[in-house]
Amino acid sequence: MRAEMPQNRILEGVRVLTLEQVHALPWGTSFLADLGAQVIRVESLAHLQDRKAGPFPDGQPSQIWWNEGGNLAYFGTRNKKSICLEVATPQGKEVFLKLAQNCDIVTDNFRPGTMERFGFDHESLAKLNPKIITLSSTAYGYTGPWRRAGSRARTVDASCGMSYLTGYEDGPSYRASNNYMDHSVGNNVAYALLLALYQRNKTGKGMRIDLTMQETGVSAIGPAILETQRGITRSRLGCGHLWKSPHNVFPCRGFDRWIAIAVSSDEEWRRLRQAMDEPLWAADPRFDTAQGRWHHRHDLGGLLSDWTQTKDDQELMNHLQSNGIAAGAVLTAEDLVANPHLGERGYIEEFENVNAPHAGPRKYAGRPFRMPEIPFTIRHVAALGEHNVVTLRDVAGLSDEEITTLANEGVISTQPLPTETPP
């Protein structure tokens, strides 16, 4: 029998201490946990909204709801350790500082000023640990007139210009997409921290990282920034394109089934005509050139829609692709779970959380790249405060008696307060 190959944990030996909530920062630190870093997530009994987020089995939280929400595996505690520590208390603050002394990275996504009030700012931590890397993920950064402004992903979508560009012609702005900004920020968190670790290995020095959601979003609309300096103002085009047509989403057979078709050249337009068996309307001279097709995009889109809506979305996608046309069926989340392409690639991962047996096995989206020597699977999802004792003993250096005292005083815990209402 062939022996199982040892898993290569590229960040093994790196220790991260994180004060994090919601999606963006947890998504970023989970990348480091996947790579083998010991990521210690500090949670508070006063802020359990992440553990209330669900989704719960059959839509109903059980008696241990704080351990069974599906987003915990995807965003929050994936491959991490959880300690439930009240850092707002003097004892909790002291413990946090002891932990930070023995960590490589400390991260947070509080508003600017919060870490300073706790005494957890970079300067304070660097006095205890000169090689410390700190990262704060905020809406608008630690400088500038908006630095203390509150936010949610929707409001940052607006303030970075993304919402302005999103919507249909002559219509209002819309939200760009669900959690788009959270994922983008999380990816930047991982990227920045890996760069900081690389730099520290070269210089021996820690650093401070100021990462913002707004600037992440502005970077995503970089072309519009350049265009406005030339007097060009982008209009909302729905799913359309600034100068290409047909380049949009078109209806297919069935309820709410669609296909995206992108034609970028006259040659591709010729191929599309052939794939449609040369309907008479496609020979209209208005559509002979790229400029003509764009100027008459509404008429062209209507005629093309009449053809696509008689077709099955995925069959049409295969047909058009075989004719050299970029086309993609608009897949739902349900479609993606059962998608044969993703299945063959092993992208959809099934995981059963031992700390939430009632939930049963669940399928999760994987990581968007393959590195054969480095597995990116979900190994564990931490229960609330699951690693209190081992972390405080091995990392903070506390005795069993000190840990027991903290538990008795309510500074650490493994269960919500009795007054905490379920989701």
Residue 1 has pLDDT above 60, yes or no: no
Structure tokens at 176: 């760009």
DSSP 13-66: T-EEEEE--SSHHHHHHHHHHHTT-EEEEEEBTTB-TGGG--PPGGG---TTGG
Task: Please name the residue that has the structure tokens 């359309």.
Answer: 240
Which token pair is 171? 């219509």
Q: In degrees, to the nearest 5, what angle opens at C-alpha 25 toward C-alphas 158 and 371?
A: 115
DSSP state string for 147-200: TT----HHHHHHHTTHHHH-S-TTS------TTHHHHHHHHHHHHHHHHHHHHH
Closest CA to 385 of 70, 59, 84: 84
Does the structure show a pLDDT above 80 at 127? yes
Instruction: Mark whether 257 and 404 lie in a shared domain.
Output: no
pLDDT in tens, 390-421: 999 999 999 999 999 999 999 999 999 888 88
Whether the per-residue pLDDT at 7 is higher than 60: the answer is no
What local confidence, expressed as pLDDT, does residue 178 receive?
67
Same domain, 59 and 198: yes
Average pLDDT over residues 147-175: 84
Edge-to-edge order in the sheet of strand 247-251: 247-251, 258-262, 326-329
Domain check: are 375 and 258 in the same one? no
Question: Within this chain, do residues 178 and 44 fall inside the same structural domain, yes or no?
Answer: yes
User: Based on the domain organization, do 377 and 283 belong to the same domain?
Assistant: no
Residue 127: CATH number of its domain: 3.40.50.10540
Query: For residue 357, what are the domain limits?
Result: 15-220+348-408
Residue 8 inside a domain? The answer is no
Q: What is the CATH number of the domain that holds 307?
A: 3.30.1540.10
Does residue 208 register a pLDDT over 60?
yes
The more confident residue out of 91 and 161 is 91
Asked if residue 227 is part of any domain, the answer here is no
Q: With a cut of 80, say whether residue 82 has pLDDT above it.
A: yes
**pLDDT of 176 strictly over 80:** no
Determine the pLDDT at residue 46. 87
Residues 77 and 153 in one domain: yes
Q: Angle between the 313-322 and 266-275 helix axes, to the nearest 10 degrees?
A: 120
Instruction: Say if residue 171 is in the same domain as residue 70.
Output: yes
Whether residues 211 and 329 share a domain: the answer is no
Residue 285 lies in a domain: yes
- Cα separation of 187 and 183, whole Å? 6
Using the 3D structure, point to which of 283, 306, 337 is the last residue of a domain.
337
| Residue 416: inside a domain | no
The 207-212 sheet, strands edge to edge: 81-84, 38-43, 15-19, 105-108, 133-138, 207-212
- The answer to the question of residue 417 being in a domain is no
239 band by pLDDT with thresholds 50, 70 and 90:
confident
Q: Considering 303, 337, 371, which residue would you say is the last residue of a domain?
A: 337
Segment 28-51 shows an average pLDDT of: 94
Are both 167 and 195 inside the same structural domain? Answer: yes
The rounded percent of the chain whose pLDDT value lies above 70 is 97
Last residue in a domain, options 292, 311, 337: 337
Which of 4-8, 171-175, 354-358, 386-390 has the highest average model confidence (pLDDT)? 386-390
pLDDT surpassing 90 at residue 200: yes
53's tokens: 């987020």
Same domain, 102 and 180: yes
Q: Could you tell me the pLDDT band of residue 74, with boundaries at 50, 70 and 90?
A: confident
The number of folded domains in the chain is: 2
Give the residue-averaged pLDDT of 377-385.
94
The type of residue at 99 is L
Q: What is the mean pLDDT of the chain?
A: 92
* 38 pLDDT tier (thresholds 50, 70, 90): very high
Phi-psi region of 344 (alpha: psi -120 to 50; beta: other; left: phi over 0): alpha
Q: For residue 173, is pLDDT > 70?
A: yes
Structure tokens at 286: 């208005």
Residues 154 and 129 in one domain: yes
Q: Do 321 and 352 fall into the same domain?
A: no
The answer to whether residue 9 is domain-embedded is no
